[in-house]
Amino acid sequence: MGRRPRGYGPVVSYRGPDALWLVRHGQSTGNVANDEARRSDAELLDLQRDADVPLSELGEEQADAVGKWFSTLPAEQRPTLGLTSPYRRAHDTARRVLEHLPDVPLRVDERLRDRELGILDLHTAAGIAARFPEEAARRRHLGRFYHRPPGGESWADVALRLRSLLTDPMLELDGQRVLCVSHEAPIHLVRYIVEQLTESDLLAALRDAPIGNCSLTRFERPSPGEPLRVVDVGLVDPLPRNDVPATKEPRVGSDEK
């Protein structure tokens, strides 16, 4: 059987939001450090605790641009609820976006946090190869989706916590238009869950559908009772419309900051 094209066909039909916007945080100082490490072949990133990595000045401008764009939508198309990762770069992005949507409440949910890298945290691809060669070999054997670094999470682990968020009755998401501010890996994995992608579909999406800083990925429910369907993936139109550059740094082995 041929592989089902991504973004088409049946998707998860749980009761839940009428619309789901996934926004990756704006450019962070970690993204800048990743880029500098790639250019210098450094083995380690000089950063603070992952949860404390802040936005860069450009990242703040990107978040403001997205907020301005949301404020131009008709009232019936705007978000009605905001959810954010507790990590500083995501929470500050959400706060800046919602300054332009003052009636939208914001909740923090740790299930939207970035993937935890355990002993590989702060290491570049060069650093992992040099300092953890056996772990690098294990990752090649298991593949990106199932490899769990010691003390960290696999992509499958992140998918599990996101499933619990999307179906959590305590969040009262039914009928809401939900804006989630998160990180690159969780956004790809929400696609994996909602669109019922396979492992190979997901890996293809990582290659073919990049999730840049402050990009928008949107799902809509065509009518009550119907499943969510993907509308946009990695949309960055709000940034150039507000004269703000879009950014997506090359990967250097560790997940983004």
Alpha-carbon distances, residue 65 vs 213, 229, 242 (angstroms): 12, 25, 6
Task: State the average pLDDT over residues 121-134.
Answer: 95
91 is in an annotated binding site: no
Burial label, 92 (beta-carbon count in 10 A; 0-12, 13-18, 19+): buried
Specify the pLDDT at position 15.
75
Instruction: Indicate the pTM of the whole model.
Output: 0.90
Specify the pLDDT at position 254.
41
Residues of 193-218 as b/e, b for ≥16 C-beta within 10 angstroms?
Answer: bbbebeeebbbebbeebbbbbbbbbb
Take residue 72 and report the two structure tokens written for it.
């131009």
Task: State the average pLDDT over residues 219-231.
Answer: 90
Asked whether residue 203 carries a pLDDT value surpassing 80, the answer given is yes
Task: State the average pLDDT over residues 181-204.
Answer: 96
Specify the pLDDT at position 3.
40
Q: What percent of the chain has pLDDT over 90?
A: 80
Task: State the average pLDDT over residues 119-136.
Answer: 95
Specify the pLDDT at position 13.
46
Question: 21-39: per-residue pLDDT in tens?
Answer: 999 999 999 999 998 998 8
127 is in an annotated binding site: no
Specify the pLDDT at position 255.
52
Grade residue 85 by pLDDT with cuts at 50, 70 and 90: very high
Q: How is the chain split into domains, by residue range?
A: 19-41+54-117+151-241
Q: How far apart are CA 165 and CA 44, in angstroms?
A: 33
Of 246 and 5, more confident: 246
89 is in an annotated binding site: yes
212 is in an annotated binding site: no
Asked whether residue 64 carries a pLDDT value surpassing 90, the answer given is yes
31 is in an annotated binding site: yes
Q: What percent of the chain has pLDDT over 70?
A: 91
Grade residue 1 by pLDDT with cuts at 50, 70 and 90: very low
Specify the pLDDT at position 17.
93
Specify the pLDDT at position 248.
73
Average pLDDT, the chain: 90
Specify the pLDDT at position 223.
86
Find residue 84's DSSP bridge partners.
Answer: 108, 181
- The class that CATH gives domain 19-41+54-117+151-241 is alpha beta
2 is in an annotated binding site: no
Asked whether residue 239 carries a pLDDT value surpassing 90, the answer given is yes
Asked whether residue 12 carries a pLDDT value surpassing 80, the answer given is no
Residue type, 128: I
176 is in an annotated binding site: no
Specify the pLDDT at position 225.
81
Specify the pLDDT at position 224.
81
